[in-house]
Amino acid sequence: MIALTVDQVREAVAGELVGVPGSVMVTGPVVSDSRQVQPGALFVALAGEQVDGHDFAAAAVADGAVLVLADRPLTSPDGAPLPCLVVPDVPRALGDLARDVLSRLRDAAEEPGGTPLRVLAVTGSVGKTTTKDLLAQVLGAAGPTVAPVRSFNNEIGLPLTVLRADESTRFLVLEMGASAPGDLTYLTGVAPPDVAVVLVVGNAHLGGFGGGLDQVAAAKSELVTGLLPGGVAVLNADDERVAAMATLAPGEVVLFGLGDRAQVRATDLDLDDSGRAVFTLHVAAPGRPPVSAPVRLRLVGEHHVHNALAAAAAAVEAGLDPVQVAAALCAADALSPHRMHVVDRADGVTVVDDSYNANPDSMRAALKALAVLARPDRRSVAVLGEMLELGPGGREAHDAIGRLVVRLDIALTVVVGAGAKPIADGAAHEGSWGEEVVVVDDVDTAARFLAEELRAGDVVLVKSSYDAGLWRLGDLLVGAE
């Protein structure tokens, strides 16, 4: 974070100082994990379901934190008051601080000699984190870039990401997630973007929106309406609900996709033997001469083409040359764990760990990638857990995945947990028989089964929502020899 006095922090969050003079400087990072404290840090004491950060405030101060953002006054083990900024709502205060710091950075960018700052935000039911990672790598090749670690995309993670920026930051990439209406309105209120990217309107978190895809689309459109005046909306031309958000944009609209109406599109699309996409990138953005360049992605799966196109469109709108963008896409890797992470084990088994999250759209994409990777002579194995937060249509969504498994001719499907059992039911209804589908109770049972079952040449996909726990199985399989 930029250096601020404690008084300046207090003014930003409208809190009350306890045990610390206002002249003290906050010169270190803003962190919510006491293990990340550095000298001069501000420690944010968050009260979670499992752990209360207030319990670690004394340790944070002992390690060098000069201020604790807390919801009550705190003391050290010897009874001395800790340096606290007390607020009624710590997460909201964190957002207020991020809003204030970003405003200061924008003002500094306008000063003579200041570093121009562009804020780019990404949302969508599928592909947010991958697109964020691609965009961060593309922009990072052109200048100092700050982007979220992992999937920091909510009311806690986004402000923490904003607060990592400083006066040298040229690009601030933000991932914005929504589980309910109003979430993106809040996040864009903290960090209004210059460029807003909307990927897909899909079936993720349906249970939180109180309706169907139209309600999801309305929630995702909050990113577009939250743009700065004159900001650019980068929209998926191949998703009608996303493309329709163009009418809400306050400024320029750039479409990406595979169709002719997209200004940033891919042609000559093919997959190599490793399931990685090869295509020609075309950029015909308004006011620029058309440019074409070859791209060969390092990411596995055809579905990443739209993620790459979205990143390319956003990067061009941020001022990068399209040829430079294409070259950076070719060099970009999957950065976040458990997202189509491919490991070729020494025993000849290939593991595709995509266990960080799952919804019907991403599950279909991952299964199609598995089918491509296994062709023509390798055995495909899908280890599938529950897709959470789907609302009343959850059973039907799992059933449909089971039917798709059969249609893709997946050789072996291991269904993990009671919540995922409708996948097996759907496979049976579609015509699966014998030992093609196995149902196990939990991750440990799945691990024991796979240890006996897997053989050289197998390609194994691990896919579920994070809280279903298959990421533990992914770690085990990737680490096995």
Q: What is the pLDDT of residues 56-88, one digit of tens each?
A: 999 999 999 999 999 999 999 999 999 999 999
- pLDDT at residue 480 above 50? no
Q: Which of 393, 376, 385, 388 is nearest to 418 (CA)?
A: 385
Range in 205-209, 221-225, 257-261, 308-312 with the lowest mean pLDDT:
205-209
Alpha helices in 26-148 (DSSP H): 57-62, 90-110, 128-140
- pLDDT at residue 334 above 90? no
The domain 93-331 is classified under which CATH number: 3.30.230.10, 3.40.1190.10, 3.40.50.620, 3.90.1640.10? 3.40.1190.10
pLDDT at 464: 95
How does residue 357 score in pLDDT terms, banded at 50, 70 and 90? confident
Superfamily of domain 4-88 in the CATH hierarchy = MurE/MurF, N-terminal domain (3.40.1390.10)
Tell me if 4-88 shares its fold with 341-479: no
Q: How many other C-beta atoms lie within 10 A of the C-beta of residue 457?
A: 13
User: Running DSSP on this structure, what letter comes out for residue 128?
Assistant: H
- Kindly state the tokens that stand for 229: 């005046």
- pLDDT at residue 432 above 90? no
The residues, any chain, with a CB within 8 Å of residue 55's CB and separated by 6 or more, are none
pLDDT at 481: 40
Superfamily of domain 341-479 in the CATH hierarchy = Mur ligase, C-terminal domain (3.90.190.20)
For the segment 309-322, what is each residue's pLDDT rounded down to a tens digit?
A: 999 999 999 999 99
Phi, psi of 58, deg, nearest 5: -65, -40
Domain ranges of the chain: 4-88, 93-331, 341-479
Q: How distant is the alpha carbon of residue 270 from its chain centre? A: 26
pLDDT at 335: 85
